[in-house]
Structure 1
């Protein structure tokens, strides 16, 4: 595997790391994976997740990866303009795809993102048919009637949870902050903001469009109160006949940023296996 720093654009360039498999490891020379920022976390990723995943994909799936910083994040300088952050993210991903297409002749891309990175991957896929697959960690999903049952029933029936609640109320147990769990400063700790999600109908319409196009989608949902059972995504978007275009993984005990090495290893291996299979079938 070879890694090198790459800059995209002349004015206020986007800075990233290209990881390439050795010649005998390449499985599909036209395809690359692009890893997107989550919030203001730079291209290393929360708990080094982006680094670990990029190298695993290159070494295990034999596919080039490019993890870069959006403008104004990490080593990429801020750019002035009138676009919203959401619009700028799509434009910058397309700029990266254009650059890699001209330089490396890649013309098909798989986009990966966690939380806001997942949202950017979804929006870019809607705008650009070069995207053949997306890997979204804690992407858009909405509550169903089953969500309330799966969330509240185990909590109401768990003696351990009642005991923990009593200890917290008595001040005998401290609730850990995000920085204590992840090692990331609170100002950099991105958590899902469900209230800012677009209307469900809009996302459903977008998913119908992507599904009809044949986009391959891997959704990984981690431990949060918004996603409480494996089939919630399919139940939420029941009108979309995903078939084999969709794969869903649920890791309810994992943190949102995969701070535990064991959880991170399981998810990284699952993504690498999915990408490898996609290259063989796409």
Structure 2
């Protein structure tokens, strides 16, 4: 991959209460996958720039180094996109708005194949939309759906049960002698902009496994990147969790245990951007 000339412009999708996004594209003679575009999704209520500007960095890297057009936009009610009123759930509204963006890019630019990227809730939206729309040829999900396994439980609890310092810390917390620092305090990010995986709100594991089976049967390419958290403990946890799905080489899993959920570490962020860029380039070029 080599550097390409990049052009960016603001794009409004929809006539009333439009969705606001940034189209980033290479020059025509440098486009490596003319019919394919990557759409980058919001994480929680974070503006389309992404946590630590991750979406901007990745969106531009895909254009400059892989020659692939990207579009990062705000869901309604987030960032620069005004809130829309309606009766749809947030999950269904996200699917509809992603499809609205795809329809717009297809009519305007002729794109008929899409790769969806998302972190946390953005990953969940990418998964759900892939189930609903066959124009999606691949998804890139950071901290997407995964559940604990017997091995992850063992790896999580064994060191804690054998650690005297952890038992002391537990007793001090129970006695009210030690304050528990929450994620927002540690990160320095305001609480409303701090999204962490909420495992209690996940759909049933069986439901997700069935959905992954359908996507696998369709041949969807899937890249899962799991970052450092208390629930994803080892590299093969995703495959163990969904062992009923016969994944082939359409699945790639990367585990970065030293990275925070929002990729605040420059070296980790750079490594993840590089890995995603290379993976997307290979998939788009093969179409």
Which whole-Å CA distance do the structure 2 matches of 1:239 and 1:25 have between them? 41
Name the CA shift for 1:171/1:5 in 2 (closer, same or farther; >3 Å).
Answer: same
Aligned with residue 125 of structure 1, among 127, 130, 151: 130
1:59 aligned to 2:47? no
Q: CA deviation at 1:22?
A: 2.4
Deviations 1:149-199 (A, max 9, x none): 222234456688679879989999876543454442111111111010001
Q: TM-score, normalised by structure 2?
A: 0.92
Number of the residue aligned with 1:95: 100
1:104 aligned to 2:101? no
Q: Aligned-residue CA RMSD in angstroms?
A: 2.1
1:221 aligned to 2:198? no
Aligned residue pairs, count: 282
Deviations 1:53-101 (A, max 9, x none): 1111111111010000000000001001110000000000000000000
Name the CA shift for 1:24/1:183 in 2 (closer, same or farther; >3 Å).
Answer: farther
Number of the residue aligned with 1:246: 251
- Do the aligned partners of 1:47 and 1:182 also contact (CA within 8 Å) in 2? no
Deviations 1:211-249 (A, max 9, x none): 000000000011111111110100011111111010000
Q: Which runs of 5+ in 2 are unaligned?
A: 1-5
Secondary structure at the residue paired with 1:27? coil
Q: Which runs of 5+ in 1 are unaligned?
A: none
Which whole-Å CA distance do the structure 2 matches of 1:232 and 1:149 have between them? 12
Secondary structure at the residue paired with 1:98? helix
Secondary structure at the residue paired with 1:65? strand
- Do the aligned partners of 1:21 and 1:58 also contact (CA within 8 Å) in 2? yes
Which whole-Å CA distance do the structure 1 matches of 2:258 and 2:158 have between them? 16
Q: TM-score, normalised by structure 1?
A: 0.93
Name the CA shift for 1:75/1:148 in 2 (closer, same or farther; >3 Å).
Answer: same
Moved more, 167-176 or 192-201: 167-176
Q: CA deviation at 1:262?
A: 1.0
- Do the aligned partners of 1:181 and 1:259 also contact (CA within 8 Å) in 2? no
Deviations 1:75-128 (A, max 9, x none): 001001110000000000000000000001000000000010000000000000
Q: CA deviation at 1:269?
A: 0.5
1:135 aligned to 2:140? yes
- Do the aligned partners of 1:29 and 1:106 also contact (CA within 8 Å) in 2? yes
Secondary structure at the residue paired with 2:249? helix
Number of the residue aligned with 2:267: 262
